[in-house]
Amino acid sequence: MYKNSHLKPFFIIGLCHLLFQVNSFGQPKWSESKIFEKKLISVIQSRYIDTRGVPSHDQFLKKNGLFPLNKKTELIPYFKVSVSIDDVLGRDQNFNSRKSAKLLNPEFFVETTTTHNSPFVSLPIWDGRVYEDKDSLIVGGYSAKFNERPVGLIDSYGNFAKSLSGPKMKEFSILQIPSEQIIFDPFEWRLFRLDPSNGKTIKNSSKSFLPVAIFDKQGNCIKNIEFNIEQNTANSALILYGIIGDKKVEIAKCNLTNPLIAERLTGYQPALIEGCIQPAHGKVITFTLEGQYSENISVNEAGLCLNCNVSESTTGKAPKFNRVKIDGDFSDWQNIVGVSDPEGDYLNYLFKNPDTDLLEFKVTNDEKYLYIYSRVAGAHGRTGKNGRYYWYAYIDVDANPFTGYPPTRDDNCYYGISTGDDAEVQFEFVGNKFVKTFFGFAGAGAEKEALDGSLKLGSSYYSSKAMDGSKRDRYKIEYVNRENIRHITHDNTEGTSKDIVMALSPDGSEVEVRVEMAGFLKDKSGKSIMFRGRKIDIAVGTEGSSDHLGSDKWGADSSPVIYSYKVK
Ligand SMILES: [Ca+2]
Ligand SMILES: [Ca+2]
């Protein structure tokens, strides 16, 4: 998936006094040490100057023994379809469905696998993040006991220095890594652990879902391409087409008569009430089938390249209004660009739960509704008998980090993203049952003000109680709208908000949520906090217990933020 132009790097500016309010560790006051005239990040980048005198990521890789040699890249096309259990014949592992069988939710993705050699290997660190505080780069570490706390800093050489000592240190898994092995990539804004490769070949792989990037002969990414998956008339093949202007080009195909099955998964069947649907009620087998590229495609360094000439007509079609149908068929999302999140970005203090591991997040809207999409590695809402699962869209409606609640892992909230979260769209599953969709709001007030409709945007907290147990009057409230009446709701309370509906894909890996913009709260003058033309920052998050996977820990993840999404 290519990059969304709305994206800013994953850090925050000017949020740190909020972090300090909740920091009772007696940390050094970073903000008092004003050393650098130049921004610290530029100082670190300038240590990696190439022969043209320009800071370069390649230089960073070379100086740290990470520059890839003997690099090989393989891009394998896959199709994924679900088939009702009743339509799958026999008990063998073959893709042997009835001729009349409906192929549910056909999908396409490319798996990119690279191998290379280098003296060192870099492993991503998920248990912390780097953020700016005035002239300093702070490393926030994550832990079960203290949630997120500043545990160190990145100095002007780009090195990590611990700022925490004593018994608290052992609570933070990032501090169990020797300091000299922690490396900050100032170009990609990521923390890595550096290990010797000992001569071993290094292998990485990742998946790209639709819309995938396709390049022209000159190496430019083709912008006005639309994708469409079709079944041929004899039902013997699935074909991915790219439509560019009035030209339809076959990109990849998968034979269905005797396909190569890469994965075969049995679906799950959550109990559903009004507000959530799932095709075939999840009673499906989901097949991942290896495909082949058509002769129009060649694979090179850049990725997938179109061999035939396409004249990108600039007059082309006007951009479509993305109207999404909440039906569990996700073809209406396949041409919407979103943001991707790494697979396997597990935190050490949480359980490695694939059902909460986000892979993609997208947002769109029409005149009445916001539509929100996410994909996880496992299945949304899957729990065991006694488990719980929550999904959130975190919305910073005024793009102001000082309203809403701050993006730390404090207050027992699992996410750590750079927004002030004012309003949320959520859903809840308990014991493998869909319980409700609902709204969250965190502003200047609490339940009474929400019921009166007189809440204002303002600084707030996730929990009604502070960490010392005292009660707060500004905290996140949760509500549902039913028959034009707003009701406060709580965990485990069944009953969905009528203006938020959702659908799961047959295998549960994808979810589409439609929320009526009128359902968000209004300010005192009666104006909704969500309106067309407003620019919002938005991300999604998941959290779920893992009893069905044999653990009493929870799993959680959050997506990158889409900044400045303009409600069209
Ligand atoms: Ca749909
Ligand atoms: Ca993830």
Residue with tokens 């949520």: 513
pLDDT at residue 407 in the model: 61
Distance CA 358, CA 507 (A): 15
The pLDDT-based confidence of 526 (bands split at 50, 70, 90) is confident
Share of the chain above pLDDT 70, in %: 87
pTM, 2 dp? 0.90
Show me where the domains of the chain are located. Answer: 70-117+204-306, 120-196, 331-566
Q: What is the mean predicted confidence (pLDDT) over 422-447?
A: 94
Q: Which ligand is nearest to the CA of 557?
A: 2
For residue 332, the CA-to-ligand 1 centroid distance in Å is: 5
> Is the model's pLDDT at 337 over the cut of 90?
yes
For residue 556, the CA-to-ligand 2 centroid distance in Å is: 9
Q: Which ligand is nearest to the CA of 511?
A: 1
pLDDT at residue 464 in the model: 85
pLDDT at residue 91 in the model: 60
Chain segment 239-263, per-residue pLDDT in tens:
999 999 889 999 999 998 888 999 9
Q: What is the mean predicted confidence (pLDDT) over 327-346?
A: 95
For residue 453, the CA-to-ligand 2 centroid distance in Å is: 36
Distance CA 284, CA 270 (A): 13
The pLDDT-based confidence of 97 (bands split at 50, 70, 90) is low
For residue 355, the CA-to-ligand 2 centroid distance in Å is: 10
Distance CA 235, CA 102 (A): 10
For residue 326, the CA-to-ligand 1 centroid distance in Å is: 5
pLDDT at residue 90 in the model: 63
Q: Where are the beta strands (DSSP E) in 269-357?
A: 276-277, 284-290, 292-293, 297-300, 303-306, 339-340
For residue 212, the CA-to-ligand 1 centroid distance in Å is: 19
The two three-digit tokens of residue 316, written as one number: 């082309």
For residue 54, the CA-to-ligand 2 centroid distance in Å is: 33
Q: What is the mean predicted confidence (pLDDT) over 212-228?
A: 92
Residue with tokens 């308990």: 430
Helix, strand, coil shares of the chain as percentages rounded to 5? Answer: 10, 40, 50
For residue 310, the CA-to-ligand 2 centroid distance in Å is: 35
Share of the chain above pLDDT 90, in %: 67
Q: Which residue has the higher pLDDT, 68 or 30?
A: 68
For residue 356, the CA-to-ligand 2 centroid distance in Å is: 8
The pLDDT-based confidence of 13 (bands split at 50, 70, 90) is very low
Chain segment 128-164, per-residue pLDDT in tens:
989 888 889 999 999 888 888 899 999 999 999 999 8
Q: What is the mean predicted confidence (pLDDT) over 57-61?
A: 97
558 class by beta-carbon count within 10 Å (0-12 exposed, 13-18 middle, 19+ buried): buried
Distance CA 255, CA 258 (A): 7
Provide the 3-class DSSP secondary structure of residue 63.
helix
The domain made up of 331-566 has a fold known as Immunoglobulin-like (2.60.40)
The pLDDT-based confidence of 476 (bands split at 50, 70, 90) is confident
The most confident of the ranges 47-51, 86-90, 96-100 is 47-51
> Per mean pLDDT, which range of 39-48, 233-242, 383-392, 508-517 is the poorest?
233-242
For residue 366, the CA-to-ligand 1 centroid distance in Å is: 14
Q: In what order do the strands lie in the sheet with 297-300?
A: 214-215, 303-306, 297-300
Q: What is the mean predicted confidence (pLDDT) over 39-44?
A: 93
> Per mean pLDDT, which range of 29-38, 252-261, 318-327 is the poorest?
29-38
Distance CA 541, CA 356 (A): 8
For residue 478, the CA-to-ligand 1 centroid distance in Å is: 27
> Is the model's pLDDT at 343 over the cut of 70?
yes
pLDDT at residue 387 in the model: 95
For residue 405, the CA-to-ligand 1 centroid distance in Å is: 32
Mean pLDDT of all residues belonging to the chain: 87
pLDDT at residue 462 in the model: 85
pLDDT at residue 542 in the model: 95
Q: What secondary structure letter does DSSP report for 314?
A: S
For residue 1, the CA-to-ligand 2 centroid distance in Å is: 15
> Is the model's pLDDT at 121 over the cut of 80?
yes
For residue 183, the CA-to-ligand 1 centroid distance in Å is: 42
Distance between the two ends of the chain, CA-based, in angstroms? 22
For residue 76, the CA-to-ligand 2 centroid distance in Å is: 21
> Is the model's pLDDT at 54 over the cut of 70?
yes
Residue environment code for 349-363, b if the CB has 16+ CB neighbours within 10 A, otherwise e? bbbebbbbbbbbbbb
